[in-house]
Amino acid sequence: MSSALPHVYISEFKHHVGEQVRLKGWVYNIRSSGKLMFPEFRDGSGIVQGVVSKKDVSDSVWQQFETLTQESSVIVTGTISKHPKLENVYELHVSDLDIIHIAHDYPITPKEHGVEFLADKRHLWLRSKRQWAIMRVRHEVINAIRDFFNQRDFTLIDSPIITPNAVEGTTTLFELDYFDLGKAYLTQSGQLYGEASAMAFGKVYVFGPTFRAEKSKTRRHLTEFWMVEPEMAYYDLEMTMALAEEFVEYIVQRVLEKRKEELTVLERDLTKLEKITRPFHRLSYTDAVEWLNKHNVKLIKKAADGSETEIDFPWGEDFGAPQEEALMAQFDKPCIIHRYPAEVKAFYMKRDPENPKLALAMDMLAPEGAGEIIGGSQREDSYEALLERLREHNLPQEPFEWYLDLRRYGSVPHSGFGLGLERTVKWICGLEHIRETSPYPRMIYRNTP
C-alpha cells in the first residue's frame, strides 16, 4: 500500500508537479475512451482530472475504476503533471486506487436540473462546482467584513436573537412563546443594541442572523439572512456614507484579489467588479425624484378596483423596484441615495436640521440591477424628539425605556448602517437568485433541508 505517500489537496497540486501523491476525495464525473479513462475528482479544495491508462495500471486497478460511480469516495494515488494542452491546468496520472464507498444513483446528474429539484437536494447540490464557488466567495466576503472593522478598531458586539419587541414596528416578525414572559420575537435587526453598545465601546459592529416573516416571494428575499451592522458614536451622516463606500469598495476588491478562480467558475464579468472603486455616486432623494420625472419614469398607482393609472412621481413617496432600477441603469458603480422624506422612514432616524421633512437616512444601491444592499442613518439623539417619534409611530414607550436611556445619559450624535450579506454575495457573484448565496436558504415556502 502507498500510505506513506503524502496527502496533497488539489488546490496545492501546482506546487507538486512531478511528485507522486495521494488525493482524498470524491468522483465528480467520469469520461472514458476505450483503454483510457478520465475520472474527475474533487476534494473540497478544487477539481482535478485524473488520467487512467490501461497499460499503466494493474488489471485489478483498472477493474476497480470500471466500478466507480458519480460521487463515490476514493483515495487515489498518482503523479501530478501539467495538462498537455491547457495552461495552468494540472492532472493526476493514476497508479493506484482505494475505494472508500460506492455511491448508487447520485441524483444530481451532469445535466440541467430545475431549481425546485436542486433546492430539495440542497445538501448534495453544495457539492457542485458553481455552489462551491459561491460559498467560497461568501466566505471571503465574511472575512473581508470582519477584517475591515477589526482593522479599524471596531469591537464586535453580538446582539440578542430573541427580542421582546419589534425594532421598527412595521415588518412582520417570527413570534415565539417565551415561558411565562409571553410573546417574544426573532430579531429583525441588532441596531438598537448596536446603538447601546456604541455608547459603551465607541465603534462597534453587530454581525449575525436576522429574521423577517414577510411573505416576500422574490429573487431578493430570504426569511433568514445575515446582516452586518456597524454603529459609531460621534459619527454624522456624512462620515457614515464615507465609511459605507470605503467598506463596499474593500469587500469587492478583496474578493477580486482572493477569489478570482471562483468568480471565473461563475463566469462573472471581472471588469464590472474592477470598476467598483471610490468615488461612488451620491444623489439626494429630492434630486432623484427630479431625475425620475425628467426622464419620464412614472409611478403606477393601483386603485381599489384594480385599474392602473400612471402619474408623475410625487415627492414624499418611497421608491419601489422600478424607480431604483431606472435610477441605477445610468451607473456602473454603487449609488447612495440620502435624505429621504422622514415619513417613509423609521422612527429612530434623525431629522435633517436644514429641513425637518427629511430624515438623515441613506440607502446604497448596487449596479447591474442588484438593488439595495445597505440601509443606514444618523440616529435621533434628542430625548424629546425621540419620544415624539415614538408617539407619531404609535409605539409604546415602556419597551423602549432602555433605548431612551441612551438619550438620558450622555447622548451623542451617532450613526450606523446595515449591509445584507446575501444580497452583497448575489451582486458580486452576478447571481439571478439570492437563494444560491445561502448554504441552506430559508424562504417563505421552504425550510428544508
Partner RNA sequence: UCCGCGAUAGCUCAGCGGUAGAGCAAUCGGCUGUUAACCGAUGGGUCGCAGGUUCGAAUCCUGCUCGCGGAGCCA
Contact positions with RNA (CB under 7 A) in 100-129: 105, 107, 109-117, 119
Kindly identify the residues of this chain, within the stretch 270-309, that bind RNA according to CB under 7 A.
306
Segment 1-60, which members bind RNA (CB under 7 A)? 29, 31-36, 38, 49, 51, 53-55
Q: How far is the CB of 218 from RNA (least distance, A)?
A: 4
Tell whether the torsion through CA atoms of 47, 53, 54 and 55 is positive or negative. negative
From the CB of 383, what's the least distance to RNA, in Å? 24
| CA neighbor of 210 nearest in space, from 177, 144, 163, 161 | 161
With respect to RNA, which residue has the nearer C-beta, 85 or 408? 85
**Nearest C-alpha neighbor of 45 from the set 31, 28, 30:** 28
Task: Identify the three-state secondary structure at position 416.
Answer: strand
188: left (phi over 0), alpha (psi -120 to 50) or beta: alpha
Cα separation of 179 and 199, whole Å?
Answer: 31
- For RNA, which is the closer residue by CB, 82 or 258? 82
Q: What CA–CA distances, in Å, run from 51 to 55, 81, 84, 91, 218? A: 12, 10, 12, 7, 44
Question: How many Å separate Cα 83 from the centre of its chain?
Answer: 35
Position among 296, 321, 355, 439 found at the interface with RNA (CB under 7 A): 321
Q: 258 vs 293, which CB is nearer to RNA?
A: 293
Which residue among 386, 420, 425, 431 contacts RNA (CB under 7 A)? Answer: 420
Tell me whether residue 154 or residue 418 sits nearer to RNA (CB atom). Answer: 418
Size of the site for RNA (CB under 7 A): 71
Strand partners, 38: 31
Q: Around 91, how many Cα atoms within 13 Å sit in the side-chain half-sphere? A: 17
Sites for RNA among residues 217-276 (CB under 7 A): 217-223, 225, 227
Site string for RNA, 161-190 (x = CB under 7 A): ---------xx-----------------x-
From candidates 71, 262, 363, 380, binder to RNA by CB under 7 A: 363
- Which is nearest to 248 in space by CA: 31, 425, 7? 425
- Where do the DSSP E strands lie in 308-366? 308-311, 335-341, 351-352, 355-366
User: Which residues, 6+ apart, have CB-to-CB distance to 59 below 8 Å?
Assistant: none
Q: How far is the CB of 6 from RNA (least distance, A)?
A: 23
CA atoms within 13 A of residue 3's CA, in its CB half-sphere = 2
Nearest Cα residue to 421 out of 45, 168, 134: 134
Q: How far is the CB of 44 from RNA (least distance, A)?
A: 20
Q: How far is the CB of 64 from RNA (least distance, A)?
A: 14
Q: Which is nearer to RNA, 110 or 399 (CB)?
A: 110
Residue 421 Cβ vs RNA, minimum distance, rounded to whole Å: 8
> In the complex with RNA, which residue's Cβ is closer, 200 or 321?
321
CB of 393 to RNA, least distance (A): 12
Three-state secondary structure call for residue 227:
strand
Residue from 63, 216, 264, 277 touching RNA (CB under 7 A): that is 216
Residue with cell 403606477: 300
| Residue 433 contacts residue 423 (beta carbons within 8 Å) | no
* Window 368-407: residues binding RNA (CB under 7 A): 371-375
- Per CB under 7 A, contacts with RNA among 79-98 are 83-86, 91
Our CB check for RNA shows the closer of 3 and 33 to be 33
Least distance to RNA, CB of residue 3, Å: 26
Closest CB to RNA among residues 152, 221 = 221
Question: Which CB atom, from 166 or from 383, has the smaller least distance to RNA?
Answer: 166
